[in-house]
Structures are given as structure tokens and as C-alpha cells.
Amino acid sequence: MMMTGRVLSLKLAGRAAVRLCSSSQLKPSSPSSPNSSSRTQAEKQRRRREREEAILSNPHNTAEDRAVIWSQKETIVYTAETPPGKKKDTSLPFPTSYSPEYVESSWYQWWEKEGFFSPEQHRVPHRVDQTFSLCIPPPNVTGTLHLGHALTVAVEDALVRWRRMQGYRVLWVPGCDHAGIATQTVVERRLLREKGKHRQDFTRQEFLQEVWKWKKEKGDEIYHQLRTLGASLDWSRACFTMDPGFSRAVTEAFVRLCDSGLIYRSEGLVNWSCSLESAISDIEVDSKELSGQTMLSVPGYENKVEFGTMFTFVYPVEDGEVVVSTTRPETMLGDVAVAVHPDDPRYQAVHGKQCRHPFTDRLLPIITDPMVDMELGTGAVKVTPAHDHTDFLLSQRHSLPRLTVIGGDGTMTPLCGQWLEGVKRFDARQLVVDALVEKKLFRGNKSHAMTLPICSRSGDVIEPLLKKQWFVRCDDMAKKAIQAVEDRQLEIIPHFYTKTWKNWLSNISDWCISRQLWWGHQIPAYRVELPNSTDNPEEQWVWGRSEDEARHRAAAKYGLKAEDITLTQDPDVLDTWFSSGLFPFAMLGWPEQTADLQCFYPNSILETGSDLIFFWVARMVMLGTELTGQLPFKQVLFHSLVRDKHGRKMSKSLGNVIDPLDVIHGVSLEVRLQEKVKEGNLDPRERLVAMERKDFPKGIPQCGTDALRFALCSHKMQREDISLSTSQVLSCRHFCNKMWQTLRFTLGVLGQSTTPPLQEIFVSVDRWICSRLYSTVLQVEQAFEAYELHTVTSALYSFWVHNLCDVYMECVKPVLVQTDTEHSGRVGHVASTILYHCVSMSLALVSPFMPFITEELWQRLNPFRPGVAVQGSLCLQPYPCSSQLAHWHFPEEERDFLLVQEVIRVARSLRAQCGMTKEKPASKSCNSCKQPFQIYLCTHTGVIQLPVLQHLNR
């Protein structure tokens, strides 16, 4: 049969001359790789300044900004009375255009009430005897989700919904982390602001009551965001790391690791925040690169403090002197030696000699060690073991004493003498320099590039301090984690992270898990006081699941009656990363052998950001293997970081964090974006940069959840950092509207009839679209299995827009209205049936990425399904399978239609360039040469009228 349709197109002389134009097609961004070679500190600082200058100086009318031009769309609201949890009424008139607010109303509450996200509800005929389980990386209860979290949710939910539709028993557990430092800091600030009281003005229990009160008020905000993002989590199993059950798991883990000798108490050098008066983990330490002399604000100091300066002074030696340089002269009161390189010719004469400390009169040995860098400073270094990590190692190698001269509150200790005792450490710096000048021992200072460790929670400068803490021995557990990857028991995706994994774990140090806080899991260890033991200066500790168990352990250990022993529980709490490291099995009820633990552990996969490979992922693997005897998961899938338009990591300190709800619902520049910047604690220059918000000169348009999720999953997230722009999300919103209009057309074609199973295919265009659907399903299957979600989204977008809409629907439009003969009627009925099946399967294919719009459209299409209408939700329908569509594979048709697709793409581009409109689609004068021309295409033969070629040849 000959089918004709007027499709604007053109045919060029050869395929090589055809340029495919598709400005709306999704294209992954390509920012710089996170694995680029390391740069020097000065280079990093220079590039940061250049980025700031670019943000402040670039005009708004750049090409990218022009591409983001948008106008407020009409908001259509779903107004039917629908109590929460009741199914949405899709029998109402179909709105003429897509509106996220209309589409995303009511569906989630219905999904949740019906229990579609619970594995117990997976009573579907296509169920398979397999499980798929994972936990969400628990966000901190203190804050709100940002776009990085939204990427995690979009990726994980796509995988979860895909497996659920395949018939797997799926468990995806939500949770929140108690975030010890962050939460305590927030509550302390609140109490000071509202009541004028400090934490120390309360008892520990009173303060914890205030924290729980705050948690109940603010803790549900993250769960609200997750629901808005459409995350199909099993809320009946939601897990908070301070829940009673989880707390029991933390205590059990600590006791078992102590019993096995993997947790011990010792004196060690830790990262200390004087502002928080607590040790903090490495991940909570930010490195601030200084190119030289810099004045910085430090908590607790009215005036800015100078950093990036190298001070030089001398230690007198018999018949000479040793010149040393330091950026921290305030620590010289804790010097116990001077170190030089054994091969340094400048100091051969002083080997083995001593110098006298000018303030304490102590004799300091001059030691030699190859660790000393002869090229740095004067080549001689002061050794302060209690306040420097390198010096601490030197003290171990040379049996040197360790003198703490800075206290936990950041003031100088009594060891410094009355003239410095109680003075703030950075105020003491100038006093020490002045005293050296007075003694004629000071030799000057100069600008010096350096890296300054900053506490990410308080903004304070980190002070390395020597403290008695609880540590986890990591060597043996780290070796097991390395071996698991090498033996392919644990798969890391993408695979290039395996090298990073091995390098870090091969050089791991013991892990300090003590935190000097009140909010968190109090360490279940108890200091023992024995009768008549006042003369024993050594600490004696026991541990237990309860104080009673610890008392009986102490009695057995020391051969005494339990009632004769006094126990005092360690006031410190455990590092948050310790409890979160137990999440994959503690969330399932461990240490009890629950049904969930037996069914869903080990988890199938862990998906998270690549920045957590050390602080969370490695620790989960080590703790899971040690405590359960099994790896906590079989695969680890890392995604890259979401950065802003300028390639900067999204950070509250930069004021460039974007709330996903602002993208979903839309927000003005002034009302929310700039207000959030003003609320932050930013450096004045950083605030100026953040206030510009040139990424969003008009604010953010309403894009909807589906568009945001699809845009996030459209990036090559396994290799490249993601720079998400508004134009990308808007493009996905346009795709949603394309889907919407496709269904409106389809429903109009179907009328009131149901669609019988497809039995006969008459013409080549029908065979072509069926074959393209098969090929798309096959490509989607392969990409999903490889976790290449950007390939899945690209294939789905291409099929829907470029195959189904651009070609097939345009071809069948004339046929669907030509029903004057029996033959044309049968052909039209076949075409409508094919259209129905293509749209229905496409909705199922897209559903894991766009759950709201696909549910809305599928429910409206469902009444036309042949036979008894399928009940329930699209999220539980079978996911299309290529093996069931193999009979639709016509490779010769796909090959023949490649030229047709190229012609259509170029013609659409020409139509836009020549200013053709819908009112006069067939004949128009060219804007360039003013000559009239016509464009016709026979979709069956591919023949194009000659006037087009004549026009082009001119």
C-alpha cells in the first residue's frame, strides 16, 4: 500500500553531506574529569580566583544563558477532591498541556498507602525468585537534600523500579544519620540564640532532650524531600541511627570488636577542633590552600589572624647556633628536639649536640633523620610531637617525650609558664615572636604557601593534639577488603576506582572513633576504680552491653566482688562514621537473625558518591566482613559529584547549593536563592560571588520531579563530574510535554475501542517502528545491566522523539483519517494498534526515571487495554523484555529508514532557518534568496520533489 504524508524534509546529494540537526536532543555534559592530575597549591588557588573573577565579570547574555530563556508556563492544578492515599481520578478531562503540579499530585500517597514499595506486596504474576536490596546513603538529619543527594535518589530509584518491574523482591531502606557534630552544633546555636544558654548550662540529659525535641521538629524535612523526588522507599523500615534497635547494634559491634582486640585505647595524635572541643574525622577537615600571607577570621577571635607566614629563629648551640623555621612559633614551648638530615653538610658539626630552650631552659637534643627535607626552610626543623603528625612519628623513632602546650580549648597550658598560661594560641604566637626578638634570637619572617586544615563544622583551624582515645585496628581488616576486590567477590564500578581502593587501604592508619560530644552513641566502655587503688595511675577499662555486664566482666578480670567495683562510663560518643558503617546489616535487625537479615543480606549493591569511598564504603566493607562474616554488598556503584555551572563542588560555604525542590517547584532569584546565601556564614568575597547566581539570572523555572530525575540520569555519571544546568532540566520538561501530547493524540485515535493483540503488519513503516521498539528495548536491557543509565535515557528519548513522534506518527496521521474503504480502515486499525503498543511499552520503559508522568499517562491509557483492564500501578507491571519482542525485529527496515530519518531531521532544521510556519507549511519564500519553494516527501518511497533540490543548488 502507498502511504503519503506531507512531512517537511529534503534529500541531499550524498549521506556525507547530511548534517543531523537536533538541538533538543539530550547531550551529556563533559566537564573535566575528577581524576585529572594534581595541581600545586598555588595553581589551585589561582584557578579558584579565576573562576570567581569569571563569575563576577561574565555578562548574562552568553550563548548558554540565551539557551536558558524561559517564560512562565501555565500552571494547571489537579482540583478533584482526593483524600491522601486514595487513587487519583484519571477519568477527568485530559488537560491540553503538561503541568508538573497537576501530574505529580496524589500519586505518591497512593503508592505508599497501597504498599507498592514493600517486598511483601510484590504479588505479581511475573515475580522471579530473586531479591534486590540496598540502603540509601543516610543523609544528615540536620540539613536538607541538595542536587548531589537528588542524583543519588534518581539513580537508585531507577535501579529499584527497574528491578521491581522485572519481578524481583525489592527492598530499599530509607534512613537518616544522627550527625553527631553537625546536630549538636545546630542545637547549641539555637539554645544560645533563643535562651541565651550554652550546652554547659544544662545537664547531659537535659541537653539531649533539647536535641530530640529539635529532631522531632526538623527531622522529617528530608523524608518529605525524598517523597517529593518519588523515591520508592519502604517507609515501614525507615531507620534512624539513634533508634533503640540501631543503638543496640552499635553497642554490640563495639563490644565484639573490643573482645577480638580490634578496638583498643591509646594515646594518639588526633584532629582537634578547639571550637567544638572534640576530635573530628578526616572527612570533616577541609584543606584551605594559601598562596602566602593571608588574614583569616577564626572563631573566638575579634580580629583576623595571619597565616601563610614562615617565622625563622635560632636555638643557641655550643660554639654556634641552629636556625629553624616554622609557621607555628606558638608551639615552640613544646619543642623537645631539633632534627636535621644526616647528609646535610651544614649541620655535620652539631650532630649529637644539644641546644638550650630559651624559655624553659630544657636541653634539646639535635637528632638526625632522613625524614627531614633539606630543601624546606633552613633544613633544620623543630620537633613538637604533641602538635604535629610528622613530629609524632619522629618521637616514636627516637623515643622523645611529648609535651602538650595547647589545651583542648585552644589556650596555652601551664607547661608554657605563667606568662603564656591561659592565653589563646594565636595570641600567644605574637607574644612568642616578641620574646624571641627581645632575646635577639629572631631572624625574620616571609610569606609562605601552605595548606591550612579547617574544621568544616565550625570553621576553626584544626589543632593536632595528643589525646587518649579509642582506636580501631585497621590493618588486617583492610587487607581483607583489598583481597575481596582482587578475588572479584566485591565489584567496584567503575573499575578504575579499584586502584584508589587498594592504594588507600594499603596505607591505612588506625581509626580514632572517640568524639567529645553529648549527642551520639555513648561509648559502652567503663573506667574501673578498684578498692585501695588510688596509687595506681594506670587507666583500667572494661566494656559491656550494659553497665551490669561490664561490672561482672570487671569482677572476673580483677578477682573481686562486683559490688566492690566502681564504674564510670566514658563520657565520649562514637564517631558517626562508626555507626553509619553498620548500616547495611543494622538496618535489617542485626545482631538478631531476623527474617530481613536472612533474606536481604548481603545487600545487592551500594550506590553512592565517589567522595565517600574511604570514609563510608571502605569502613562498611571492613566492619561488615568482620562482624557478619560476609561482605555487606556484592557491588559498589560510584557516581561522580554534581558541580555548579562553573565546575565548583556544591558547598554551603560557597553558597552554590541548590535545593532540588527549588528546581521541581521553581523559585525566584530574590525570594529564595539570594536569601539562602544571606543566611549562610560566608566570606564577603564568597558571598559576592554567590549572590550573583549567574547560573540562574531569572531564578529557576518550575521543571518538575520527572524532568529533574531524567536530566540527572542523562549524564555519564560513572566518569565525569556533572555540571547540571537549567537548560538541561528544561529540555527534559519539554520531553515530558512531548509525551503528554503523544498520549493526547493516541487517545484521540483510539476513541472508545479497545486494542486487540497485534497480529498483522502491512507496510514498511509499521515494521520499522516495531523493529525500532525491539532494538530500543534490547539496548535498554544491556545498558541497565551495565548501570549505564545515560545510555538508557538517550535510547528512550531517541525512540520516543525521533522515531515515534518525528516519523511514525507523522506517517500514520493521514492513514488514521482515511477510513472510506475497507482496506484503508483495516490499515488504519493496525496503525492505531501499533501506536497503542508503542506508547504503552514506552511508558513502561521510561517509568523508572519518570514515575509520575508515566503513571498518569498509563492510567489514562489502561482502559483501552484488550481484555480485562489491568489493575494496580504501572510500577508493578512487567518491564518490557526483548525476548518477547524478537518477532518484531526487522533489521532491513531499520537500515532502509536511516535515510528517511536523516531527511526529516535536516528538513526540520531547514524549516526553522527559512521561517516556515504551521499556517503555510508547504510553500514559502526563502528568507535568504526570496525564491519560492515547496517541500514534499512520500514517506513510502522517500521521493522528494525536484523544486527543493533546484532551490538548494541555487
Region 156-183: what's the mean pLDDT?
A: 95
Q: Give the confidence band of 655 by pLDDT, cuts at 50, 70, 90.
A: low
| Grid coordinates of 30 | 563533559
Q: Residue 913 pLDDT > 90, yes or no? A: no
User: How much is the pLDDT for 55?
Assistant: 45
CA of 82: how far to CAs of 89, 106, 854, in Å? 8, 7, 19
- Give the residue among 55, 297, 254, 108 at the shortest CA–CA distance from 705: 108
Q: Which residues contact 880 (CB under 8 A, 6 or more apart)?
A: 777, 780, 841, 844, 845
C-alpha cell at 381: 626543623
Residue 870, pLDDT above cutoff 60 = no
The better pLDDT of the pair 792, 122 is held by 792
Number of CB atoms found within 10 A of residue 649's CB: 15
pLDDT bracket for residue 830 (50, 70, 90) = confident
| Residue that wins the pLDDT comparison between 903 and 474 | 474
Top-confidence residue, 381 or 55: 381
The pLDDT of residue 658: 83
| Cell 567503663 found at | 526
Output the CA torsion 809→841→79→228 (10° steps). -120
List Cβ neighbours of 614 (8 Å cut-off, separation of 6 or more): 282, 283, 504
Report the alpha-carbon distance of residue 110 to residue 85 in Å, rounded: 4
Lowest mean pLDDT among 80-94, 495-509, 524-538: 524-538
| pLDDT tens, residue by residue, 531-552 | 876 665 678 999 999 999 999 9
Q: What is the pLDDT of residues 572-611, one digit of tens each?
A: 999 999 999 999 999 999 999 999 999 999 999 999 998 8
C-alpha cell at 44: 589551585
pLDDT tens digits for range 512-523? 999 999 999 999
Question: Could you give the CA distance from residue 584 to residue 632 in angstroms, rounded to a whole number?
Answer: 6
Residue 809: partners with Cβ closer than 8 Å, 6 or more residues away: 742, 745, 835
Tell me the C-alpha distance between 140 and 215, whole Å.
Answer: 11
Q: What is the pLDDT of residue 725?
A: 80
Q: What angle do CA 533, 534, 536 make, to 5 degrees?
A: 70
Model pLDDT for residues 448-491, shown as the tens digit of each residue: 999 999 998 888 999 999 999 999 999 999 999 999 999 999 99
More confident call, 282 vs 383 = 383
pLDDT in tens, 249-289: 999 999 999 999 999 999 999 999 999 999 998 878 888 99
Give every CB contact of residue 134 below 8 A, 6+ residues apart in sequence: 156, 159, 160, 171, 172, 173, 603, 604, 605, 606, 607, 633
> With contact defined as beta carbons under 8 Å apart, do 328 and 387 qualify?
yes
CA distance 224 to 235: 12
End-to-end, the C-alpha distance of the chain in Å comes to 36
Distance CA 669, CA 677 (A): 11
User: Quick check: 864 and 753 in contact, CB under 8 A?
Assistant: yes
Cell reading at 525: 566502655
- pLDDT at residue 887, rounded to an integer: 87
- Residue 32, pLDDT score: 36
Judge whether 939 and 900 are in contact, CB under 8 Å.
yes
Region label for 523, one of left (φ > 0), alpha (ψ between -120 and 50) or beta (otherwise): beta
Residue 647 makes CB contacts below 8 A (sequence gap 6+) with 31, 32, 51, 721, 723
- The C-alpha cell 579547617 sits at 454
User: Which runs of consecutive H residues, i.e. helices, occur in 229-291?
Assistant: 244-259
Out of 58-67, 399-408, 635-644, 719-728, least confident range: 58-67
Preceding omega of 602 cis (within 30 degrees of 0): yes
* The total number of residues written for the chain in this structure: 954
pLDDT above 80 for 915: no
Nearest to 803 by CA among 774, 761, 762: 774
Tally of CB atoms within 10 A around 343 = 11
Q: What does the pLDDT read at residue 721?
A: 81
Give Cα separations from 137 to 177, 249, 609, 705, 785 (angstroms). Answer: 9, 18, 9, 20, 22
- The reported pLDDT for the residue numbered 556 is 94
What whole-number distance in Å separates Cα of residue 482 and Cα of residue 488? 10
Residue 683 has pLDDT above 50, yes or no: no
Percentage of the chain beyond pLDDT 70 is 80
816 or 345: which leads in pLDDT: 345
* Lowest-pLDDT choice from 4-18, 109-123, 769-783: 4-18
Q: How far is CA 703 from CA 373, 665, 800, in A?
A: 56, 7, 20
Q: Which residue has 544546568 as its cell numbers?
A: 725
Q: Is the pLDDT of residue 66 over 70?
A: no
Cα–Cα distance between 440 and 314 in angstroms, integer?
9
Task: Name the pTM for this structure.
Answer: 0.84
Angle between helices 705-713 and 726-750 (to 10 degrees): 120
The string of pLDDT tens digits covering residues 713-758 is 999 887 778 887 888 899 999 999 999 999 999 998 887 666 666 6
Cell numbers standing for residue 782: 544491556
The span from the CA of 508 to the CA of 511, in Å, is: 9
Question: What separation in angstroms does the CA of 458 have from each of 140, 271, 297, 786, 925?
Answer: 16, 13, 12, 41, 67
pLDDT at 281: 85
What is the Cα Rg of the chain in Å? 34
Return d(Cα 93, Cα 88) in angstroms, integer: 13
**How is residue 614 annotated by DSSP?**
I
Percent pLDDT > 90 in the chain is 60
pLDDT in tens, 88-114: 999 899 999 999 999 999 999 999 999
pLDDT-based confidence at 124, cuts 50/70/90?
Answer: confident
Give the mean pLDDT of 236-242. Answer: 96
Coil/strand/helix, residue 174: coil
332 CB neighbour count, 10 Å cutoff: 25
Residue 813: per-residue pLDDT: 85
pLDDT of residue 126: 82
Nearest residue to 200 via CA among 516, 552, 526 = 516
Q: What pLDDT is attached to residue 812? A: 85
Contact 921, 34 (CB under 8 A): no
Cα–Cα dist 172/133, whole Å: 6
Tell me the CA distances in angstroms from 750 to 269, 415, 678, 688, 742, one per residue in order: 74, 89, 55, 57, 12
C-alpha 633/C-alpha 131 separation (Å) is 13
Residue 35's pLDDT is what? 40
Task: Report DSSP state, residue 617.
Answer: I
Distance (Å, rounded) from C-alpha 210 to C-alpha 218? 12
> Is the per-residue pLDDT at 937 higher than 80?
no
Predicted local confidence at residue 22, as pLDDT: 29
The whole-number pLDDT of residue 820 equals 56
Mean pLDDT of the chain: 84
Beta strands 463-472; 169-173: pairing state: unpaired
Residue 476's DSSP bridge partners are none
What is the full DSSP assignment across 796-858? HHIIIIIIIIIIIIHHHHHHHH--SSHHHHHHHHHHHHHHHHHHHHHHHHHTTT-HHHHHHHH
Q: Is the peptide bond before 138 cis (omega within 30 degrees of 0)?
A: no
Q: Where are the alpha helices (DSSP H) in 307-448?
A: 389-398, 425-438
Q: Is the pLDDT confidence value at 954 over 60?
A: no
